[in-house]
Amino acid sequence: MISCLLPLAFAWSPAHAEEPAPSPEPTLLSETLPNGLHVTVLSDPSLPVVATQMWVQVGSAHETDSEAGFAHLFEHLMFGKTTNNDKEAYSRHHTMNGGSENAYTAFDNTVYISTIGPAWHDQVLVFEADRMRNLILDAENLENEKKIVTEELRLRTENDPVSRLLDPAFHAIFGDHPYGHLPAGTKEDLAAADLALVQKFYNGYYHPANMHLVIAGPVDGPATMARVQELFGPLGGERLVPPTIPDLASHDFPSRVLLQEDIPPIKVAALMYIGPTMRDPDYWAFKVMTEMLAGGELDAFREELVTERSKAIEAMTVAETLRSGSVLAFASINLPFRSERRAFKLLHQTRDTLTEEAGWMTQAKLDTAKRRLLRQSLERRYYAESQADALGQAYAWQGDETFAMGGASAAIDEVTLEQVQAAWLKYVVQAEPVEIFVKKGEPKAEEVQ
């Protein structure tokens, strides 16, 4: 059992010591219960509401081929009735007290979210522990949720051209990597789900050792931890360990992908590069690099391609991080006359210009990027939900929730210009990007040679 009580220093580093110290300081309490449930309590009396998040370390990437879309379907079932409570009790508790409750399924995790005034928080813990142990799973409820999720699929992925592109695009780009299918799954996947799979998820994957409970708000840390021990300590069962997701860096990506849909008459070209995981020593340099490129008002890639050269009507840099790796993409939006070959040539030229005339990669830009990241982390202090989200993600992806507080700040502050230059060289200049081309036409997603 690990337990630590530490004041969280929101001051960035000695270099930023002139920042006034916010008050009162929050405190972080962290413990792993004997049944494996990891618990984090951030006590901050300045917050008006309490956020409670249950991070389950199972997402769509952990599904086998025959289970596609099931993590998300199961997330819906978790809002069902239990042996102690009606189906609507959990939501009603939130609604009648002005709180909010929801959940989402991503590639790497499924997360259950509650935010409510402190007077009503204890009952949330009671409900949460109850549904983790006493959920009633029956065929009738499963069939109803299948219908609901199928409507969600139609809404999100079938009836809008850009959304329609997403599923085939991920298949084409990520291939057989577990990120190659979206969390929502398909209608065929949903139709095949049965109660045996439901039980596998509930009894095996929803084991305390696969979960992290995060609480952030104006709570008494030790008292809340004691209450969690009382309510969640009895949870157990036989744990099913989620499969390991291969890092994106080890995956064999196609060199070029063509996508077509009923989009407006434009052409989109993109170069996609694979970056490090958050556990990689290069990660923070890569993170700061993407912030220097595009974190502010001026996107270096856009400025070069659109403003300086007027070779596209719009351009952007997109950076995303997942547990198994990060992605950096440079994209341009072109009028219909632009050929595919020319569009990619311009993207490569622009990338080369950013290497040769690296006006974006200066010490001043580095300092600014660090300052912007500092401000973003400071802003989280206003919102219990943002704090809980950061804590949950840091533990899930880095195995250490303190990265959500001072840890990430310290790591970012240590990044040097030389490290950023090395990251650009390794992850962009010396890397082979996936070329992605999108145009108006009959729906299609295919790898092209």
Q: Of 70, 75, 83, which Cα lies nearest the Cα of 102?
A: 75
- Out of 125, 182, 257, 390, name the contact with other proteins by CB under 8 A: 182
CB of 35 vs other proteins, minimal distance in Å: 25
Instruction: Rule CB under 8 A: say whether 107 interacts with other proteins.
Output: yes
Residue 417: Cβ within 10 Å count: 17
Judged by DSSP in three states, 99 sits in: coil
* Residue 349 DSSP one-character state: H
Distance CA 267, CA 90 (A): 47
CB of 388 vs other proteins, minimal distance in Å: 13
Report the residue number, 256 or 381, with the smaller CB distance to other proteins. Answer: 381
CB of 160 vs other proteins, minimal distance in Å: 6
**HSE-CB of 217 using CA atoms within 13 angstroms:** 21
The one segment of 239-247, 279-287, 370-378, 407-415 that binds other proteins by CB under 8 A:
370-378
CB of 413 vs other proteins, minimal distance in Å: 14
Positions in 304-333 near other proteins (CB under 8 A): 306-307, 310, 313-314, 316, 318, 320, 322, 327, 329, 331, 333
Rounded-to-5 percentages of helix, strand, coil across the chain: 45, 20, 35
Distance CA 75, CA 69 (A): 10
Count of residues near other proteins by CB under 8 A: 104
| Residues β-bridged to residue 329 | 272, 318
Positions in 238-297 near other proteins (CB under 8 A): 262-266, 268, 270, 272, 296-297
Instruction: Rule CB under 8 A: say whether 176 interacts with other proteins.
Output: no
The one segment of 198-206, 376-384, 391-399, 403-411 that binds other proteins by CB under 8 A:
376-384
CB of 145 vs other proteins, minimal distance in Å: 7
- Out of 170, 180, 192, 421, name the contact with other proteins by CB under 8 A: 170
Report the residue number, 33 or 71, with the smaller CB distance to other proteins. Answer: 71
Report the residue number, 43 or 225, with the smaller CB distance to other proteins. Answer: 43
Count Cβ atoms within 10 A of the Cβ of residue 99 and give its class: 0-12 exposed, 13-18 middle, 19 or more buried. Answer: buried
* Residue 271 DSSP one-character state: E
Positions in 1-40 near other proteins (CB under 8 A): 18-20, 22-23
Residues 41-70, one symbol each (x = binds other proteins by CB under 8 A, - = not), give -----xxxx---------------------
Instruction: Rule CB under 8 A: say whether 415 interacts with other proteins.
Output: no
Instruction: Rule CB under 8 A: say whether 95 interacts with other proteins.
Output: yes
Whether the CB-CB separation of 94 and 88 falls below 8 Å is answered with no
CB of 156 vs other proteins, minimal distance in Å: 7
103, containing H or E segment: strand 100-105
Instruction: Rule CB under 8 A: say whether 378 interacts with other proteins.
Output: yes
Instruction: Rule CB under 8 A: say whether 169 interacts with other proteins.
Output: yes
Cis peptide before 22 (omega within 30 of 0): no
- Out of 53, 150, 387, 398, name the contact with other proteins by CB under 8 A: 150
Positions in 185-244 near other proteins (CB under 8 A): none
Report the residue number, 158 or 400, with the smaller CB distance to other proteins. Answer: 158
Helix pair angle (221-232, 121-133), 10° resolution: 20
Q: Of 238, 244, 148, which Cα lies nearest the Cα of 202?
A: 238
Distance CA 24, CA 19 (A): 15
Distance CA 304, CA 296 (A): 15
- Out of 88, 176, 194, 400, name the contact with other proteins by CB under 8 A: 88
Q: Give the pairing type, strands 38-43 and 211-217.
A: parallel
Q: Of 388, 292, 273, 265, which Cα lies nearest the Cα of 331?
A: 273
The one segment of 28-36, 164-172, 338-346, 425-433 that binds other proteins by CB under 8 A:
164-172
CB of 315 vs other proteins, minimal distance in Å: 8
| Residues β-bridged to residue 258 | 437, 446
